Amino acid sequence: MDSSASAGQPHTSLDRWLAGKGFRANPFERWNAEHDQDLPNYFVDIGGFDEFLRLTVPCVIFAQRGCGKTAQRQMLAAQCRPLKRDSPWLAIAYTYSGFERALDSAGGEIQQIRPVHHVSTLCYLGLTALAYEVSSDSKIQSALASPGVASRLAAYVARFAPHLADAPATGLSSALDGLSSPELLQGFAMLVKDAGLEACVVLVDGVDEFPPTANDPTQTMALLAPLLGTLSLIECPGLILRFLLPQALESALRACGWFRADRLYISHISWKDSNLLLGLVRQRLIHFSRRQPPYEDLAQLCKDELAQVINGEITDLAGGSPRAALILADMLLQGHCQQPNPPELIALATWGEVKAKWLARRDDFVAEENYATALDKRRRVARFADYAVLCVEDEKHIVRLGEYDITSEIPPQDYRVLACLYRHQDMVCTKDLLVEEAWPQAEKQGVADQAIAASIARLRRVFRKYSQDAEYIQTIRGRGYRLHPDGLKDDLGLYS
């Protein structure tokens, strides 16, 4: 088949049905905001986001799992550098990889984590983000090269981020000897100010999905206490800390003497039924619609008898969880398109089958397991045939997915990332390894996590065009990325 003629064409029953209805893609396939580049187009502000953005005091926002903590974090980051180039704020995400770095520096024992371990990690993340700004903003580069500032910056780089230095430095970090953890953090915040920025926004998120702390309140508290419980750190001038935490942790935190609720702005994410349907579902339908006027209601995709009940029943089953609403809507579309030739509109019987599957598994979701991931895995196992073999011919710079040559759809930077993953397909590729092999020498300094995530997201979008249900690139929390083994098997079932 001529790949040039087929590029961009729908490849699954669901793709074809959606295309026929006037959609660019499945509006509900993305349940997790972590790497969703389109999130700003359909983010739903359920109230208070603007205020939360403007506050300069340390903040804690609580939410049930799947109710939008990561979406809030991503949208806050979108208002800061490096994503918003004219922003006076620099954002750093303190998530899985950061937690792992802090844990490693404490000898792998969460109970041994102290303020200095958090400070060292924040300085590492912050200096890496600042280096990216230096490489892309001449004003910041000049400001940090000025007398008095350059020497302090060099000392911080030598102590906390030596990989950013042009050459190994000896003795530079001694200028920081004897400083306390709060003083070290204040010194970094001063570098941000010296760069001409107003503040560094620290976004702490993911403690409920970080393996050493997930579903373990005792371990979670041990991780958080040295940072959240140290006022001189969370109230450091020039730093704005935002903690996005699981709702289940609130009562335990309030019972701790070190949790200073009187010095924190505390808020909650709580979804109303109208937010789910008039906000979440409606915004996604509008964004992914090609037709004018766009779709705005799931009922528009359903036969009359289902159209009358679909919105109310999805609302009831979701129970205030946006992730649950997205999963249910996705299951509805997937269920409809399991038929060989799906009719134009979805029938009530299809929704009945979806409800039965959901109710059989709802206990897993209520127990705050990652239902989305579990369902996704079950789907991929059931549809193994959807995995076409991925082949990267590095010497020729050719990428094939099954019978398709998709080389032209992958930009050079993304190709280098894919080639690194393919080259090391028997292991997890850390972010450091990806930077080392996928970025040109002149660009290595200051490659932000966001740049890697953006490249991975673009690759996933290309693969999704040809095999919607297959996850060719897996995110290994706290470690990095790897290619899914099922996408590398040849016709004999052996790894290529």
CA 96 – CA 430 distance, rounded (Å): 12
Does the global pTM surpass 0.75? no
Give me the residue spans of the domains in the chain. Answer: 11-28+272-382, 47-268, 386-488
Number of H helices, E strands in the chain: 23, 10
pLDDT of residue 155: 93
| Phi/psi of residue 38, nearest 5 degrees | -90, 0
Tokens at 436, concatenated: 């080392």
DSSP letter for 429, please. B
β-sheet bridge partners, residue 93:
203
pLDDT of residue 44: 87
| E-state strands within 206-342 | 239-246, 265-268
Is the Cβ–Cβ distance between 130 and 195 less than 8 Å?
yes
CA 92 – CA 86 distance, rounded (Å): 16
CATH 3.40.50 given to domain 47-268: yes
Around Cβ 240, how many Cβ atoms within 10 Å? 23
76, amino acid identity: L
pLDDT of residue 115: 97
CA 222 – CA 213 distance, rounded (Å): 9
pLDDT of residue 369: 39
Instruction: Give ∠ CA 257-259-263 in degrees, rounded to 5.
Output: 120
Which CATH architecture is the domain 386-488 placed in?
Orthogonal Bundle (1.10)
Q: Is 284 exposed, middle or buried (0-12, 13-18, 19+ CB in 10 A)?
A: buried
Average pLDDT per block of 10 residues along the chain, 496 residues long: 39 87 91 75 83 89 87 90 91 90 90 96 93 89 93 92 74 85 97 96 92 88 97 97 95 95 92 83 94 95 96 91 89 90 95 90 49 41 55 86 83 91 87 87 68 85 73 79 74 28
CA 285 – CA 296 distance, rounded (Å): 6
